[in-house]
Amino acid sequence: MLVAMAVATAWAGGFPYAVHSQVLPNGLAVHVVPTPTPGAATVVTWMAVGSRDEVDAGRTGFAHFFEHLWFYGAETLSGPARERAVVRLGAEENAWTWFDETVYHMTVAADRVPQALTLQADVFRGLTLTDEQVRKESGAVYGEFRKGLANPDGRLWEALHDLAFDVHTYGHDTIGWEADIKAMPDALDYARTFFSRHYRPERATVIVAGDVQPDAVFAAVAERFGPWERGAGPAVAPPAEPPQKAARRTEVAWPNATAPRVAIGWRIPGHDNDDASLAALQVAADLWSSPVGPLQQRLVVDEGLAYSVEVMREDFVDPSLFVIAVTAVDDAAVPRIEAILREERDLMAQGPAAETLEATRRHVSAALRTSLDTPDEAASALGWALRRDPDPTGLDRWAALVQAVTPDAVAKAVQRHLVPATENVVILRHAP
């Protein structure tokens, strides 16, 4: 099955390149994106497994752990030998893990895409794990965890998700709980189970972007990834989070001197390319996060209450949060910041000015287009979208929704979703 799509949209969410798509018999989705980048290409394998999928008790952090273990190589090519092959290939390779995905990406000269596909496919089809490797890499993960303990912003977001989610796996940080990380050195058997359960072709998407020809890429992917066997059954879904019926609040004591932080997160639905209210919420986030928007102007410029403001609609697979996070200048500013955030929420619930909305859309649209000027950025943007909607045309449906957002739509979305009953407030401040 081969499906071709070419789009050129004028708003965030659209994709300016043609996308050629194919699904192999084993369920692997393949997308090829020719871009005007002579001689350069990116190979990305996007796995539909993140901390969201850590449903077994005492086993948080394993999606991220596998981001580390994956580089130990396969029976066909050991980790050190593979590393030398990557260097000889002249490739830039890395990986990352988040709530909904683990992503392996490699940027190479366009004529070396087949070799890059070989290096990736060999590990997915035949990763080798030993007790020594698991013990060694678990130490690296624990070191990464301890390093994160020095980051108050990371602690703020961790506390916010912990507060907002009672049963869903979005409630724990991607790196995992400390007790579970401490148990990783003895988890060889579980590591093999995790790999067998989640690292299957039907849960993978290969994206090749750059100076490439679709037919040649499809043939190369089929040859290397085609023998990868399907899993035994569907992945276990995380438990559904029950509706939140009352506001929640907590404080985090930070042991060292630091600026206080304030975060408010409202529960919102998971990303849906056909949900107009979510498109309106995205516009609200763009308006609020603008450097000339009302939050920056009031909190940072006019009243000098804050150092920074961050606004995010978490476009996750499952219901998540709409977050406003503020770094305050001191403790005395915290109550006033909270009051202003609620005032601005009420003002947005009346609808933004039409000219402000249009100016924001033009700015974000231009920023999106200029951000997609490399194969890596193009592949990353497409991969993020496909994890949430496997149909590439979803990018265009979302673009159309956002383009159609009106001030009244923004007002109704804020009234519907950013309500007191689903509010989660976290204050982080210095407490010796």
DSSP letter at 57 equals T
- What residue has token string 């410029």? 301
Give the sheet arrangement for strand 2-5, strand by strand: 2-5, 19-23, 29-34, 204-210, 40-47, 102-109, 92-97
Q: Are residues 261 and 200 in the same domain?
A: no
Does 98 share its domain with 194?
Answer: yes
Collapsing DSSP states into helix, strand and coil, what is residue 112?
helix
- Are 10 and 87 members of one domain? yes
> Is 128 within the bounds of a domain?
yes
Which domain-ending residue is among 225, 258, 292?
225
Instruction: Return all residues near 221 (Cβ < 8 A) that are at least 6 apart.
Output: 24, 28, 30, 117, 206, 208
> Would you state the pLDDT for residue 96?
96
- In eight-state DSSP terms, residue 14 is B
Residue 252 belongs to domain with CATH number: 3.30.830.10
Domain end position, chosen among 191, 225, 259? 225
Residue 42 to residue 382: CA distance in whole angstroms: 12
Question: What is the per-residue pLDDT for 430?
Answer: 95
- Six token digits for residue 106: 């490699």
- Do 184 and 257 share a structural domain? no
Residues 374 and 263 in one domain: yes
Task: Quote the tokens at residue 194.
Answer: 């995790």
Helix axis angle for 407-417 and 276-289, nearest 10°, is 100
- Identify the domain boundary among 225, 258, 273: 225
Q: How far apart are CA 50 and CA 198, in angstroms?
A: 10
If asked whether residues 195 and 252 sit together in one domain, one would say no
- Give domain status of residue 198, yes or no: yes
Asked if residue 211 belongs to a domain, the reply is yes
Pairing relationship of beta strands 29-34 and 423-430 according to DSSP bridges: unpaired
Nearest to 193 by CA among 17, 53, 31, 22: 53
Count other C-beta atoms under 10 Å from residue 318's C-beta: 19
Contact 21, 393 (CB under 8 A): no
* Residue 234 within a domain: no
Within a domain: residue 126?
yes
By DSSP bridging, strand 102-109 and strand 92-97 are antiparallel
Indicate if 271 and 196 belong to the same structural domain.
Answer: no
Strand order in the sheet with 248-254: 248-254, 423-430, 261-268, 320-328, 306-313
Intervals of the chain under pLDDT 50: 1-13
- pLDDT, residue 73, reads 87
Residue 5: its pLDDT value, please?
Answer: 31
Same domain, 326 and 254: yes
- pLDDT digits 0-9 by tens, 22-36: 999 999 999 999 999
Claim to verify: residue 176 and residue 265 sit in the same structural domain: no
Asked if 299 and 369 sit in the same domain, the reply is yes
Residue 368 domain boundaries: 248-430
Q: Is residue 353 situated within a structural domain?
A: yes
pTM: 0.93
Considering the domain boundaries, does residue 237 fall inside one? no
Q: In whole angstroms, what is the distance from residue 142 CA to residue 178 CA?
A: 8
| Shared-domain flag, residues 254 and 185 | no
Q: Give the total residue count for the chain.
A: 432
The count of domains in the chain is: 2
Q: Residue 240: inside a domain, yes or no? A: no
Q: Are 41 and 210 in contact (CB under 8 A)?
A: yes
Q: Do both 196 and 271 map to the same domain?
A: no
